[in-house]
Amino acid sequence: MDVTALPFSRLIGLEHAAPESGFLLSLPASPNYLNHVGTVHAGALLALAESASGEFLLRQFGDHPEFSAVVRRMETKFRKPAHGRVSARASGDPDAMAKLFATLAAKGRASISVVVEVVDEEQVLALTAVVEWFVAKREAGESAA
């Protein structure tokens, strides 16, 4: 699955970040993302953070279409106003990832938290978030899309 190919991601112009940048995803600089004070809108930052957490999980799972994940909760803190291109990086505790896979194998469902940072084009930290995902084994006949 390519998170940038999802209909909402295409609508907002979500892009993969350059691999050497250390980021997963970004939104280009555009007046379409600005709020009433001329900085990047909170909704755009949130959408980028949520998508980056999903991209992180996809990279951890590799090719495992038997599982499906949905966001259960997202806790965010807006740090500073963002200007221009915004980019997101995400991380997870390796021990928590190992526990996730063990719990999925045993129970068929589990939760995992992903930490996300969003920075603007000047590397100003605009937002931090913890996104909790619920992951479950797909039911027979359930679509991966």
- One-letter-per-residue 3-state SS of 58-91: HHHHCCCCCEEEEEEEEEEEECCCCCCCEEEEEE
Scan for tokens 């495992």, then name that residue. Answer: 64
20-34 pLDDT per residue, tens: 999 999 999 999 999
Task: Flag whether pLDDT at 66 surpasses 90.
Answer: no
54-64 pLDDT per residue, tens: 999 999 887 66
- Proportion of the chain above pLDDT 90, given as a percent: 79
Q: Residues with Cβ < 8 Å from 125, sequence gap 6 or more?
A: 79, 80, 117, 118, 119
pLDDT band at 140 (very low <50, low <70, confident <90, very high): low
**Domain residue limits, the chain:** 3-137
**Rg for the chain, CA atoms, rounded:** 16
* Segment holding 144, helix H or strand E: none
Rounded distance, CA 24 to CA 104, Å?
Answer: 25
89-124 pLDDT per residue, tens: 999 998 998 899 899 989 999 999 999 999 999 999
Query: Which pLDDT does position 143 carry in this prediction?
Result: 55
Scan for tokens 């045993």, then name that residue. Answer: 106
Rounded distance, CA 121 to CA 124, Å?
Answer: 7
pTM, to two decimals? 0.91
Write out the CATH class of domain 3-137: alpha beta
Count of alpha carbons within 13 angstroms of residue 3, beta-carbon side: 22
Scan for tokens 């930052």, then name that residue. Answer: 45
Rounded distance, CA 143 to CA 139, Å?
Answer: 9
